[in-house]
Amino acid sequence: MSSANETQTPPNAPAEAGNGDWERPVDCRETDRMNSYDDSDASFVYCDVRGDRSDEERQLAAVMEIANAISSRLDLNQILSAISRELSKVIEYDIGCVAIYEKERCGLFMRHVWRRGGETTGEGRFVPLDDSNLVGWVANHRKPVLRSNIPADGRFREIMKEDGLKSDIVVPLVAKDALVGTVNVGSYELNHFTDFDLDLVVRFSKLTSIAIEKCQLLRELDDLGEKYRLLMKNASEIIVILNAQGEFVECNRAMCEISGYRLDELIGRSMFLVTFPERMDEAKRHFFQMLRGEIARIPEVPCRKKNGDIVVIDISGGVMRIKGDPYVVLIAHDITDRRALQERITAQNDELTEINRKLRELDDLKNEFLGRISHELRTPLSVIMAYTGTLLEDRDQTIDPQTRAEFLRIIDDHSNKLLGLINDLLDLSRVEVSRTMLHKSEGSLNDIVKISLRIAEPVAAQHRVELVAELDAAIPIMSFDPLRIRQACVNLLGNAVKFSRDGGVVTISSRGGDGEAVISVTDHGTGIGKDEIPKLFEKFSQLDGGASREKDGLGIGLRLVKHYVELHGGRIWVESEAGKGSTFSFSIPCRPQE
């Protein structure tokens, strides 16, 4: 029960005594029994003597007596008390104790110190787990030691130096390769202990180690059980255990409070008790995926309470095995209020975002519209006023009839253009206010295409653009608003002409199939970049027609076409590549929309 001043493994220690193997202790003869690790008389023995037959019988009887005494006890204090008491019956010593290893504090503590006079001095004393003291050295190296002459051994710092022990035995307590502590006995006499005593303590330590370990495991099990009970009782999260059939095996109080069911109403019942019928298949799939270890979390699961209300929970889980059978452990958190709040906040944010977007859009449109309308209205008005003023000032009739006629034609063209702009604005406002403005009738779509072609021909002729029609005669008689479809065709033809090069060709075609008729207008002009296509059908959107064309118009023609087509239940799209021309197409269902 002492320790050295330096950390040093004693030399000449028999290798067989290492690694805690005490099943067959080393047979040390009297000549090497005092084998020391320096030149002093200190004995440092890692050995045991096979005694004669009577010694073995006595040893076996003593060990069996100790085993019976400690195996029936489950309390650590009772075991430690029994160790000191029972060991004193078979070995004479003055002081004995057990040093218990505590991993968290990296040391050992003296427990149940037994003294011949009944004192307990030294109880609870801390022993460092290092080689500076004998108890620490034995615990570290897990080798038993018998010292016959402690005063002659100056290599150790004595833990209980004040007791003046002359000889001692320190044996490690090891169970399942884990350090439990040491058994320590000491005497006030030199050469008091024999090899037989060492062998007895070694054998005794095995039973002691097993008993202490069993006690510690039982205590840990009790602590774990208490923690489990407290957890199940006080946890705010839902905790349930399901067997492989999806039946409740265990539920905590939170599960009962949130679901509205009593514990006896849940245990043994299927988890589908709290599942909505329409989500039964999904719940089964998730359960077996979790049972197979494929998933560990199921977010936002709506469950049915006993009163029929909905509770939304986030579920995390895993698989554990009890006696080889798989069980699913689920931990769930009630997020009903949080989800409802999130949905309200999200809805409000979306609403505010949309309002802000519309306000910004309206403000931008207002500014753009005012700038564009002032330009588009001022241009034809300026031309009209200029030519009208010239004619009014010609009181002497100096302008020849041919020039006068040309002036009147220009005035007429710009008047029509101005009227067209105003009509487009009025049509757009009516379209966006009312979706019941269609006046449908039965008719031929090809006839509308031909009429549109004749309307667009004068503008095409001015720009030396040829208009070509490719019509599918198989298109049946359909129900549509002829005025709106004609406006759509004329607007598409006008745009195609405006963006075509002089001498180009614009083709308008019709084709039927798949329950709809499709009108397409193709030009070979400047084309449209991919990033500009999404903007085409926005209000007041206008693309640059190139250096060969004057950029005019309010940019509402395609918007009108889109509205007219959608009012018929159709769709509109564009295929274009910059520098290679564009094809605008729209479809109209052959069957009237209900």
What is the predicted pLDDT for the residue at 546? 44
| Domain endpoint, select from 420, 447, 463 | 420
Residue 489 belongs to a domain: yes
Residue 16 belongs to a domain: no
Residue 8 belongs to a domain: no
Give yes or no for a contact between 508 and 468, defined as CB atoms under 8 angstroms apart: yes
Alpha helices in 235-333 (DSSP H): 253-259, 263-266, 280-291
The CATH number for 525's domain is 3.30.565.10
Give yes or no for a contact between 539 and 366, defined as CB atoms under 8 angstroms apart: no
Residue with tokens 């193997």: 21
Are residues 348 and 448 both part of a single domain? no
Are residues 206 and 242 both part of a single domain? no
| Percentage, residues of the chain above pLDDT 90 | 28
Residue 10's φ and ψ, nearest 5 degrees, are -60, 140
Residue 518 belongs to a domain: yes
Residue 20 belongs to a domain: no
Are residues 145 and 207 both part of a single domain? yes
Residue 541 has pLDDT above 60, yes or no: no
Are residues 543 and 468 both part of a single domain? yes
Q: pLDDT: is 556 or 573 the higher one?
A: 573
Name the β-bridge partners of 512.
517
Residue 37 belongs to a domain: no
Q: Confidence band (pLDDT; 50, 70, 90) for 550? A: very low
What is the predicted pLDDT for the residue at 44? 37
The CATH number for 313's domain is 3.30.450.20
The CATH number for 349's domain is 1.10.287.130
| Domain endpoint, select from 188, 221, 254 | 221
Give yes or no for a contact between 479 and 441, defined as CB atoms under 8 angstroms apart: yes
Residues 410-418, mean pLDDT to the nearest whole number? 80
Residues 94-118, mean pLDDT to the nearest whole number? 87
| Domain endpoint, select from 221, 252, 275 | 221
Alpha helices in 72-194 (DSSP H): 76-90, 134-141
Are residues 392 and 359 both part of a single domain? yes
Residue 505 belongs to a domain: yes
- Pairing state between β 167-175 and 441-443: unpaired
Name the β-bridge partners of 511.
518
What is the predicted pLDDT for the residue at 12? 35
Are residues 85 and 217 both part of a single domain? yes
What range defines the domain where residue 320 resides? 236-337
Are residues 329 and 365 both part of a single domain? no
What is the predicted pLDDT for the residue at 525? 86
Least confident window among 34-48, 197-211, 322-336: 34-48
Tokens matching residue 507: 């083709």
- pTM strictly above 0.85: no
Residue 29 belongs to a domain: no
The dihedral over CA atoms of 574, 575, 577, 583, expressed in degrees to the nearest 10, equals -80
Could you give the number of structural domains in the chain? 4
Are residues 124 and 249 both part of a single domain? no
